[in-house]
Chains A and B, each alone.
Chain A
Amino acid sequence: MTVIAAATAASTLAACGGGGDDSGGGSGGGDSSANEASDIGITETSIKLGAHFPLTGVAAPGYSEIPTGAQAYFDCLNQAGGVNGREIEYIYRDDAYNPSNTSQVVNQLVLEDEVFAIVGGLGTPTHSAVLDFLNSEGVPDLFVSSGSLLWGDDPETNPYTFGWQTDYMSEGKIIGDYIAENFPDAKVGLFLQDDDFGEDGEAGIREYIDDQIVAAERYTPGNTNVGPQIAALQAAGADFVVGFNVPSYTALSQLTALQLGYDPQWFYSNVGSDPTLVGNLLNNFSQGQVSDASLLDGALTTDYLPTVDEPDNPWVQEFQRIWDECGGEGELTNYRIYGMSQAYTTVQALQAAGQNPTRDGLVEAIETAGSEWEGPVLAPFRYSADSHMGTAGMSISRITGTTTEQVEPVQLTDIGDAEIESYDGEPAEVPENGIPNEESVVD
């Protein structure tokens, strides 16, 4: 730490390791002293990061694309000089969405690969299995890919863990508020996954439209017959259905409703609404009878990131460039944008942690500066010493054909009884090469 303290005084790029003469502005702190192997997973020329994702098995479609997006982003970043002259070495391993596997692969990442930090580990039950391990080993556990409250609302117990995406309760509140204002006469039915995802979402939504809700139906993940639930919503007279469900159940609920001749206004939470994936699933489940996501036409959803159907968005254009230059096979998808955006925030955190980052320094950097970072994420993060919750807001949009149109600008809120307010900040500008340039805040 003393080296870093001495280093922050100066501000030339002269001795920034191998990538000191890069043009990408990747060298955030701009310190003059040499790079050191300051902590586990950090060498003079590299930073090792790890992640766990379902790359095989039932949860793999869609989710397995997230790390490919992040990989493409890191590859382009490395070509432009990396972070303070260090290349990012990104290792992601398969847990098949099974907590027993997650525990094994994270053991491997931490004990064998000796990563500096875990970034973007996906899933609530899967990541729960490694929460205590990572915090007891003191491994930074950044930007968990799940909207559970578990990651951010108790930094005292889990000081190394940070959420990233909008939590499900805040999402529920923003949806509830929107319905109360725009559909005050709607009879609302809820279609919920029977776990904390559905529970948090329901708690949020009930804060605003408890009296409008006529039915709340729950499905168990794995049970592919949702006929009873959809029929119960229809029988209760719901003409507006809000779904807190995963993409496969968006497809199942649409097909079931089609069979029952039930046509309410649908509102799917962000998790379950990716039109491309739902279209593929619909095609799959209906054995070709429904060939695309046209059933979703007119449905409402929420966003906290720009999406592929906004080709004019400068962030999407930049991500498209990165995918074309550094990505693998396939198209840029919303899941890849998710992975790239997460990688962008990770780079911001690494830059803020100074030239020679330490694990504790990284946590301190996010707590100190994280709430001011701008990037592809639509609304600011809530990071502080008291909260490790991720972004706080969402916009609402309507799916029309293969694109979406925004119907409500970004709204901000927080868990509990925090108010909802409109976010008045401007969308962030894209930095050169899509690489952030944060000052070091750790000394």
Chain B
Amino acid sequence: MSDLQSPTTDTATAPGKATSSPPTEATAGGDQPTATRRRSLLPSSTLLRHLLLLALGAVATVVILEITDPFTNSQLATLSYYAIAAGGLTVLTGMNGQISLGHGALMAVGAYTTALFLSAEEPPPLPLILLAAIVVATAVGALVGVAAARLHGPYLAGATLALAVGLPGLAIYFHDWLGGEQGMRVRAPRAPEAFDSFISTVSGNSATNTKWLAYVGAICLLITYFLLANLVRSRVGRTWRAVRDQEVAAELAGINLGAWRVLAFTVSAAAAGLAGGVLALVVRLAAPSGFTLVLSLSLLTAIVIGGLGSLLGALLGSALLVFLPPFVTDLGAGWGLDNTEAAQLAPFVYGVVLIVAMIFAPAGFIGTLRMRWLTSRAKRSAARSSGG
């Protein structure tokens, strides 16, 4: 985790390098058990494939951030912290089968750590601060993980629920130190000069603070997803899935269930900590009212609606959280509702979308698409083998 910043600097130069690796024909890996043989434009090595995606993601990020207006930039900054936390949660819930209602609290840990470091006379550089946020949240996550590893289903939900409700209360209890109900104001560090010149060479837009924060969020998001994607395709990810799917078989195979569950919780907490740090920068405040149970629940709905266990699904679900309410509110205002009614329309439509998604796409957007795709491919190969 120490090279938090370096993959980004890579991404700026990476496109040429990564795309130069020739597209090869990939045979199906362990993840695609039904595939017999298929063509793919992506390299066969997991690391290379993810590096390529990372580079593409970086290019897409720059393009999107430069062609959209400042408000969309700020929405994308919001999206980045939701997506980082949801990515961590989807690894925990989708890959390892543990539920957590406490990720809002872990985000609070990251946010308060960031706020405390930035309130220092001479704050350390931003990457170090975010790293500290990750470390502290990881430590708390490991502690919770130890307890969580012994619990299942509703019991685990209950325990993490207590975390979500209780932890923000600490900020009120230690109000001299953590600012109480009013919270700690966060002054995000200014953008370095290199950023100004980067923006002016790329697009000629003005390098505002909003844009800078959107880039910080996007960089953190790309790195997090790159690392998480590698992790879940590795031995670690396979072990997590084994623990999730068949506890007894996994234990017979020599897997220490508890230890792997703690690890999953810890990794997930690290992502939540980084998300909290980005949140503090983007919102410019760490306050208990920002980390209510609603936050934890929205993260959970984001990953469920997007498709459990899929990073792309977590990203899509987070995008729904961020873009749907303002969209619906503006739509309502366009229909001639007054501002109050338009605002009340947003939670209603969100609920309807949730219900409709559960009825028509019970595995989430990505999960349902993937199932459709796998089914149709299985049918095709069945048809081919019976024909030949």
Contacts and interface: CB of A to CB of B under 8 A. Distances in A.
Contact of A104 (B69, B78, B343): B78
B344 A56 contact: yes
B289 A103 contact: no
Contacts of A105: 326
A221 B180 CA distance: 11
A128 interface: yes
Given A94-B346, A98-B294, A103 B283 contact: yes
Nearest to A95: B343
B244 interface: no
Interface residues of A, number: 40
A237 interface: no
Interface string A155-180: 00000000000000000000000000
Contact of A93 (B69, B70, B339): B339
Contacts of B75: 104, 107
Contact of B329 (A67, A93, A98, A128): A93
A93 B185 contact: no
B71 A99 contact: no
Interface string B192-210: 0000000000000000011
A194 B209 contact: no
Interface in A81-133: 91-94, 97-100, 103-105, 107-108, 111-112, 124-126, 128-133
Nearest to B70: A111
Interface in B245-287: 279, 282-285, 287
Given A67-B339, A195-B182, A129 B284 contact: yes
Contacts of B326: 104-105, 108
B172 A220 contact: yes
B74 interface: yes
Given A56-B347, A103-B284, A128-B185, A68 B340 contact: yes
Contact of B284 (A97, A108, A133, A193): A133
Contacts of B289: 97-99, 125-126
B339 A92 contact: yes
B370 interface: no
Secondary structure of the B side of the interface? helix
Nearest to B339: A92
B155 to A, nearest CB: 24
Contacts of B17: none
B182 A124 contact: yes
Nearest to A193: B181
Contacts of B71: 107-108, 111-112
A288 interface: no
A125 B183 contact: yes
Contacts of A108: 71, 74, 326
Interface string A49-90: 000000110000000100110010000000000000000000
Given A55-B339, A92-B340, A124-B181, 16 more contacts: A55-B343, A56-B343, A94-B343, A99-B183, A99-B289, A100-B279, A100-B295, A107-B210, A125-B182, A128-B185, A132-B187, A195-B175, A195-B181, A196-B181, A220-B169, A221-B181
Question: Which 7 pairs, one residue from A and one from B, show the smallest C-beta to C-beta distance?
Answer: A94-B343, A195-B181, A112-B71, A129-B285, A111-B71, A55-B343, A107-B74
20 contacts: A56-B343, A93-B343, A94-B343, A94-B344, A99-B287, A99-B289, A100-B283, A104-B74, A107-B71, A107-B75, A107-B210, A111-B70, A125-B288, A125-B290, A128-B285, A129-B185, A129-B284, A132-B185, A132-B187, A136-B209
Interface of A: 55-56, 64, 67-68, 71, 91-94, 97-100, 103-105, 107-108, 111-112, 124-126, 128-133, 136, 148, 150, 193-196, 220-221, 328
